[in-house]
Structures are given as structure tokens and as C-alpha cells.
Amino acid sequence: MSNIKTICIDCRILTTGIGTYVTSILAYFKGNDDWLIYALVAEGQNEILPLNIKLIPFKAGVYSVREQFEFSWKIPRVDIFWSPHYNIPLLPIKAKVRIVTIHDVYHLAYRSELTLKQKIYSKIVLAAAVKLSKKVITVSEFSKSEIIKYLKFDKNKINVIENGVKQIRNLKSFDAIQKKYNLPSKYILYLGSVKPHKNLKRLLEAYEQLNSTVKEANKVVIVGKVDGFITGDPKLISYIRENPSLKENVVFTGFIEDVDMDAIYSNANIFVFPSLYEGFGLPPLEAMLNECPVTTSSIPSLKEVCGNAAMYFDPSNIEDIKQKIESFIMDEDLKQQFVERGKICVKNFTWKNSYEKHLKIFDTIN
């Protein structure tokens, strides 16, 4: 046992993109006898994680004061404590070394969208996460530059490891999926939250201005529940509800099971991602995997990830968003050209590669 390295991972956030990140990395640890893995888990997570992991039940909620005290006595004596999100332990812990993954610094770049409590928490904890950790992992060169810009830390401490994308599609009959979620036959697809920086209102304004042929043939499908979106941007929901055309043509899917998403991507006419700020941007790559043409905002992180496989628009320009949507929908040859580019692009981002880069960092920690 003396040669076995030990790591404890905070695995409480498993229902979000961070959950996909953690579980995808952990899947490759299966069969790696060099590591003994402990996981902090919330109630009901036992069945989600691989069987070779030692589970440590954790009662406190994420971002709570209580979690800080529970970290101190629940984290065992290990070589590494890895937090896949910036809510790191602020008090002393028994781990020799800490590693943190900071996916983006949205909470610093878009402070105006936060409450006073959120502003104070994010500033203190993000700064502490970088200061207290031996290594910082982030998901793009853009995010690395933002961490340096807002937190003023040595760039040599920060390691870029891109996210992966699953490489095998789970295609179900679209007829069954269409009935299950009450989907239209032709649609423009959006996936993401409805926080203001996601810029969904401009996408809907662009949709309103589409030429009549394109607009009449395509509704807008937004993956998620209306109720879950109100906290993100209540003005947007009011805008939809008060506009008869949008009320009739915008479809909220409700909760979508992961196993159904490939079919929803595959049958979309186009995937549109108008975000103003991303650390990485996984949904465009998921669309590419499913041979759905992608048009997205021309922000640095998305251009870094998508390369020549997406058609870009100025996210502040409604006319530009409109033109790019029309270009794809009205030109089958153009669509196919970007579909082919997308199939090549997505192969550059595998979870196996991401795992190996994480392992390299973990292995070099003394």
C-alpha cells in the first residue's frame, strides 16, 4: 500500500456540467491500481460513481458556511484534495496538497449580475482557491487569461486542460422523443441557462426578424423548464409571454434525460449558442458530435474551442445573428460543409485525453 497515492474529490455537484466533468474523469480511473480514491458525496449519489471509490457522506450544501467546517473533519489524510469547482475549503484540512479546477471567472467578469452576498463570496473564495492550491486547472487559454487578469496570480501555477466530449452517439427514434417532449418537427435549438450573459433575448429578437419562409418552418426549442429559468432572467420570460408570436413558437422542453439529448441535437435544423461569456462551451461540441450545424458567438473561448467548425456572429448584433441562421437553414451545401468540419473538430476533445492530462498533474504532485 505504501506506493499507492491517495486523493479525495468533492463529488457533490453531479447534476450540472461540472458533474459531467467529474464523472467523465473518474470513469477512466477504474482499473488504475496506483490510486486510492475517496469521494465526498451528497445523499443519493452512491449509484452514480464507480464502485472502486470510497464514499464519504457529506451533509452540508454547496456554498454554505457549514460546508467549510465539514470539509475540515470529513476530508481524510490524503496526498491530494481536488475540488472540481472553486468552492474550496478555507480552513485547514488533512490533505497534503490541494488542486482546484476553475472553469471560468464569470462571477468576477459579470459582477453586476450578482447580489452583494454573491459578489463578496465569489471574490474571496476564488482568490483563496488560487492562493491555497498547489495547482490550478482551467479549461481554456481564455479562462487562464481571465484568471490572471482578475486574480493577479502567477500564470505558471495555472494548467489548461480542455474538457472532453463523449465520442459515441446514443440515437433513439426521434418519433418517440418528439412525443415524449412534445417537440416540433423542425426547430432551431438552444441549450443553456437563461442568465442575462447567455444572451438568449437577442436570439429570440433575431428569430422574430427571420424571413417569413424560414420563420414559419422553424420553431425555437429551449432545453429546460420555464420555472427553472425565471430566476435566471425574469424579463426574458415576460418578453416571451407578452409576445404572441414567441409565445406560440418558443418551446420549453422541461427536463431532458441525458440519453435523449443526442436525438434532440440530431434532429435540429441548427444549433445556436449566442453566449456573451463562456469558459469553454460544451454544447456546441455536443451538437457537432450529432452532426448538427453550429452558429455561435464570436467570443474568444468559443473560437478557441470550435475553430473553423462553427459559423460565428457578433453576439451584440441581432441582424448578424439573423443572417447566420438564415444562411444555414437556406443553404444545404453550407450546412453540410460545417457538419463535416464539426465531425473533425469534436474528435480533438476526448475525456480520455482530459483524464490523462489530469493524471499527469496528480502524478507530479509531491
Given a cut of 60, whether residue 232 has pLDDT beyond it is no
Q: Per mean pLDDT, which range of 22-36, 41-55, 56-70, 158-172 is the poorest?
A: 41-55
- Helix, strand, coil distribution of the chain in percent, nearest 5: 45, 15, 35
Q: What is the pLDDT of residue 230?
A: 44
Q: What is the DSSP letter of 51?
A: T
CB 288 within 8 A of CB 342: yes
Grouping H, G, I as helix, E, B as strand and the rest as coil, residue 337 is helix
Give 227's pLDDT tier (boundaries 50, 70, 90).
low
In one letter, which amino acid is 214?
Answer: V
Q: Which residues pair with 83 in a beta bridge?
A: 100
Q: Tally Cβ neighbours within 10 Å of residue 29.
A: 19
Grouping H, G, I as helix, E, B as strand and the rest as coil, residue 303 is helix
- In the predicted model, what is the mean pLDDT of residues 171-179? 92
Q: Per mean pLDDT, which range of 11-25, 45-59, 170-184, 227-241 is the poorest?
A: 227-241
- In the predicted model, what is the mean pLDDT of residues 139-148? 96
Given a cut of 70, whether residue 320 has pLDDT beyond it is yes
Given a cut of 90, whether residue 10 has pLDDT beyond it is yes
Give 63's pLDDT tier (boundaries 50, 70, 90).
confident
Place of cell 445556436: 272
CB 215 within 8 A of CB 207: yes
Q: What is the pLDDT of residue 13?
A: 84
Given a cut of 90, whether residue 233 has pLDDT beyond it is no
DSSP character string of 212-274: HHHHHH-EEEEEB-HHHHHTT-HHHHHHHHT-HHHHHHEEE-B---HHHHHHHHHT-SEEEE-
CB 267 within 8 A of CB 174: yes
- In the predicted model, what is the mean pLDDT of residues 264-282? 95
Q: What is the pLDDT of residue 234?
A: 72
What are the distances in angstroms from CA 214 to CA 169, 188, 209, 330, 331? 28, 10, 10, 8, 11
Straight-line distance from the first to the last Cα atom of the chain, in angstroms, rounded to the nearest whole number: 17
Render pLDDT for 291-313 as a digit per residue (tens, 0 to 9). Answer: 999 999 999 999 999 999 999 99
Grouping H, G, I as helix, E, B as strand and the rest as coil, residue 98 is strand
Give 49's pLDDT tier (boundaries 50, 70, 90).
low
Q: What is the mean pLDDT of the chain?
A: 90
Is 15 exposed, middle or buried, given 0-12, 13-18 or 19+ CB atoms closer than 10 A? exposed
Q: Which residues pair with 219 in a beta bridge?
A: 187
- How far, in whole angstroms, is CA 253 from its chain's centroid? 19
Render pLDDT for 94-112 as a digit per residue (tens, 0 to 9). Answer: 999 999 999 999 989 888 8
Given a cut of 50, whether residue 1 has pLDDT beyond it is no
- In the predicted model, what is the mean pLDDT of residues 247-262? 90
Q: Please tell me whether the overall predicted TM-score, pTM, comes out greater than 0.85 for this model.
A: yes
Domains of the chain in start order, with CATH, are: 5-164+350-364 (3.40.50.2000), 174-346 (3.40.50.2000)
Q: Which residues pair with 318 in a beta bridge?
A: none
Give 50's pLDDT tier (boundaries 50, 70, 90).
low
Given a cut of 90, whether residue 218 has pLDDT beyond it is yes
